[in-house]
Amino acid sequence: MGVLALRTLRCLLIYADDPMNAGCIALRRSRVDDIIDKLHSHGLPVDSWDAAALNLPRGLLRGNYDAVLLWTADDTFCDRKRLGDELADYVDAGGGVVCMYVEPGTQPSGRWLREEYHPLEHVSITTGRHLGIGKIHRGQHPILSGVGDFRGGRQSWHNVGVLRPSARRIADWTDGVPFLAESRDTRVVFLNFYPCSSDLHPGYWDSSGDGTRLIANALCYAARRTHLI
């Protein structure tokens, strides 16, 4: 898929982030800016919604967005149940969701949690020095297309938990924790790393690698579009 085709995708980053705890104030640049700028550089424009500050308007997702990117850091959604119900309705209507790193206890609740839409049952978070992609279970998966190098950075933050029976494992971290998985029944993808890059903080994934491609591929795949090439 070329750049012009990618620009027809409509994606939304839903996040909860406290910028005062970002550790990047001196850069005058937020973690959200870093994510959006990286995806724009791959020809994938993304809108954003601060769901820690404002509830997502009911029905906003359906018919307006092909895929959603979900992430929390140092904050929680202002109405976890309402957001969880909205996301579940969106997925039921054919929408795609890419779930990235979330702080424990901050994930959407409601139907999203109760009916187990997320491929991972969250337990905790962990870090590791300079981890990367380890065992690959499905090497021909479209999300891995064009991905040759990924390094998680000095901290390599990621979630730890048990994959649900409805999930399909695609790749692991080098510590054996699931790195990439998807739901067998819905358009929900679990991409298990902190989405900001080392351009913002050395603990985040190394921006010289293929982190942006992984996120963009995952959004295209969740939207059921051709992966990036």
Q: How does pLDDT run across 135-187, given as a tens digit for each residue?
A: 999 999 999 999 999 999 999 999 999 999 999 999 999 999 999 999 999 99
Q: How far apart are the C-alpha atoms of 209 and 206, rounded to whole Å?
A: 6
4-8, 15-19, 155-159: the lowest-pLDDT one? 4-8
Q: How far apart are the C-alpha atoms of 148 and 86, rounded to whole Å?
A: 35
Q: How far apart are the C-alpha atoms of 181 and 68, rounded to whole Å?
A: 16
Helix (H) or strand (E) holding 179: strand 178-183
Q: How far apart are the C-alpha atoms of 175 and 66, rounded to whole Å?
A: 33
* Residue 35 confidence (pLDDT): 95
* Residue 135 confidence (pLDDT): 97
* Residue 224 confidence (pLDDT): 87
* Residue 173 confidence (pLDDT): 96
Task: Decide: 172 and 137 in contact? Cβ < 8 Å.
Answer: yes
* Residue 19 confidence (pLDDT): 63
Quote the Cα angle for 125-131-136, to 5°: 95
Angle between helices 211-222 and 31-41 (to 10 degrees): 80
pLDDT digits (tens, 9 = 90+) for 28-83: 458 899 999 999 998 999 999 999 989 999 889 998 999 999 999 877 899 999 99
Q: Locate the domains of the chain by residue range.
A: 3-222
Give the mean pLDDT of the chain.
89
* Whether pLDDT at 222 is above 50: yes
Please name the amino acid found at residue 205: W
* Whether pLDDT at 118 is above 90: yes
Coil vs helix vs strand at 77: coil
Q: Kindly report the CATH number that applies to the domain delimited by 3-222.
A: 3.40.50.880
* Whether pLDDT at 25 is above 50: no
Query: Percentage of the chain with pLDDT > 90?
Result: 71
* Residue 207 confidence (pLDDT): 96
Band the pLDDT of 6: cuts 50, 70, 90: low
**Token code pair at residue 7:** 């620009």
